[in-house]
Amino acid sequence: MADDRTAWAHAQIRRQPRRQPGTETIADYLHRLCSATASSLPISGVGLNLMTESGGGGMAGASDSTSEQLEELQFTLGEGPCIEAFVRGQPVLEPDLEAPRATRWPMYSTSVLELGVRAVFAFPLQVGAERLGVLDLYRDQIGSLSAEQTAQAIAFAGIAVTSLLDHQQGNPPGEGAADLDDPLEYRFELYQAQGMVAVQLRVGVAEALARLRAYAYATNRRLSDVAGDVVERRLDLADDA
Amino acid sequence: MTAVPTERVAEVFVEVADTLVDQFDLIEFLHMVSRRAAELVNASAAGLLLADPKQGLQFMAASDESTRLLELFQVQAHDGPCVDAFRTGLPVVNADMTTASHRWPKFAPRAVAAGVLAVHAIPLRLRRNVIGALNLFSSETSALRPADVHIVQALADVAAIGILQERAVRRGEELTEQLQGALNSRVVIEQAKGAIAQQHHVNVDEAFQLLRRYARSHQRKLGDVARAIAINPAGMPDLFGSEQPAGDPV
């Protein structure tokens, strides 16, 4: 659903300069998303990591070179808030890396403190059961994000998810045509439709959502209407493939 | 509404406390709380909605999860007594839907169409925070009495503790982290329902029954089974093959 914060976050990303004119690659778009997140919130850097359930993954974007280093550090060490957020499927917010509870990442907290980081906020990029990666926010000072800032960070994470799904379907990032939907749309139907399409096409639920969005875009229909047709069995995307 | 027997109230609170002691499944826990809340005050259905930092309220669990009622619970994320209870932190009691279309233009007509004539919404409180609302539907306009409201509010408060207890106390986590995790676990259930419906040629309501029955008969958490199915629909077990003979406990 296109809520106010998502619209605001899209506007922040649009304000970031493009690396080159013309069609933008997903990597360039995610880089702009990280820069926009970093400049819109009271933080010092942002990194975006793509990960797989089997433990693979890699850095997909960062606002600056220190954040890039920080992202790679977690993979090297195999511990940290980013990995924890991914595994648990919920944000991990650590406003003070010197606090006793941060010692649950003994190697990580020591190393990042040396790089001048005092707080980390990690937001999983997920579509229900399927996890795509994590958006990490770094801060050089101790302190929490406010509830509003946390919600804004979640909006940026949501846009990252959408653009990754669009990219799978070959759509240019940041367009989000199917995002504008009835605020009273029946949300659960969309999630149920994802599960149904996953079985129809033998794909994961994240790709199922991408296919639903692509179908809605191609047929110029609302995503919630397409989802409703799938759940009511008026539409089978396997027939359409 | 009939008076709630004290013994029954005591039993319910013992049951809830028992569930909280062990490692528990959040969605199952919220189902149980919803069912007991509906039972205690003779409501036709009860549901729980939680706060999402992005979109306001999101539906989590209900005593009756038929598609007809799910839609009604979800509409309340935007308009209706739940939003009011959530914003003010005060219960909305005995709201007559037949005369409420000016107050809740989107919700009230839908409620009446679904046969819901009276609605009650109780805030889910945790210390100074309101984290959601417990919603009760009645098919008659008869009144919820003050004593009933106290009982349901107590149950709502216990539910709030349950939602946040898992890791919150041990790790001193923030509200947002807990709620985000809880909300995502509901999304996983819906994805699994869809996959089951497609695979087993049943509707989503039946799919949910199959999912619960399978989790129970294999003594696994509902959320774990749902996640396994949603991540790998191709590896879905034969959910029909594990039906309990009879006496499925509610």
Q: Which residues fall within 8 angstroms of residue A224, CB to CB, at 6 or more apart?
A: A181, A182, A185, A186, A189, A190
Do B185-234 and B6-171 fall under one CATH topology?
no
Please tell me the distance in Å from B192's CA to the nearest CA on chain A: 6
Neighbour count for residue B140 (Cβ, 10 Å): 11
> How far is Cα B190 from Cα B213, in angstroms, rounded to an integer?
16
Closest Cα in chain B to A193: B194
pLDDT tens digit sequence for B57-95: 888 899 988 877 888 888 887 789 999 999 899 999 999
Q: Is A199's CB within 8 Å of B198's CB?
A: yes
| Chain A contact for B235 (CB, 8 A cutoff) | no
Chain B within 8 Å of A115 (Cβ-Cβ)? Answer: no
Greater confidence (B228 vs A224) lies with B228
A40 touches chain B (CB under 8 A): no
Distance set, CA A9 to CA A121, A156, B123, B236 (Å): 17, 6, 31, 38
Q: Tell which CATH architecture fits domain A4-168.
A: 2-Layer Sandwich (3.30)
Does B184 contact A at CB distance below 8 Å? yes
Residue A127's CB is within 10 A of a number of other CB atoms, namely: 25
Pick the more confident residue, A168 or A10: A10
Average pLDDT, chain A: 85
Q: What is the pLDDT of residue B85?
A: 93
Of the residues B167, B198, B208, the best mutation for testing chain A's interface (the one with the most A CB atoms within 10 Å of its CB) is B198
pLDDT confidence tier of residue B169, bands split at 50, 70 and 90: very low
Level-2 CATH architecture, domain A177-240: Orthogonal Bundle (1.10)
- Number of CB pairs < 8 Å for A and B? 122
Q: Say whether residue A14 is in contact with chain B using an 8 A CB cutoff.
A: no
- Reading the block at residue B76, the tokens are 């309340």
- State which amino acid sits at residue B134: L
Assigned CATH for B6-171: 3.30.450.40
Q: Which residue has the higher pLDDT, B108 or A53?
A: B108
Closest C-alpha to B195, from A226, A186, A197, A207: A197
Residue A145 gets which letter from DSSP?
A: P
**Choice between B170 and B197, residue whose per-residue pLDDT is larger:** B197
Boundaries of every domain in chain A: 4-168, 177-240
CA distance B113 to B127: 37
Separation of alpha carbons B105 and B80, rounded Å: 8
B208-233 average pLDDT score = 91
pLDDT at residue number B53: 67
Mean pLDDT on B112-120: 93
Percent of chain A with pLDDT over 70: 87
Domain layout of chain B by residue ranges: 6-171, 185-234
In chain B, beta strands by DSSP E: 45-52, 56-62, 92-96, 118-126, 129-138
Percent of chain A with pLDDT over 90: 44
Interface test with B, best of A156, A188, A231 (most B CBs within 10 A): A188
Quick one: which H or E segment has residue B149? helix B146-171
**Which of B75, B196, B234 is facing A202, going by the closest CB pair?**
B234
Under 8 Å between Cβ of A79 and A105: yes
Return the CATH class of domain B185-234.
Answer: mainly alpha
A4-168 and A177-240 agree in CATH topology: no
Nearest residue in A to B65, CA atom: A188
Q: Quick one: CA torsion of B38, B43, B44, B50, rounded to 10 degrees?
A: -50
Res B2 pLDDT > 60: no
pLDDT grade for B9, boundaries at 50, 70 and 90: confident
ipTM > 0.85, yes or no: no
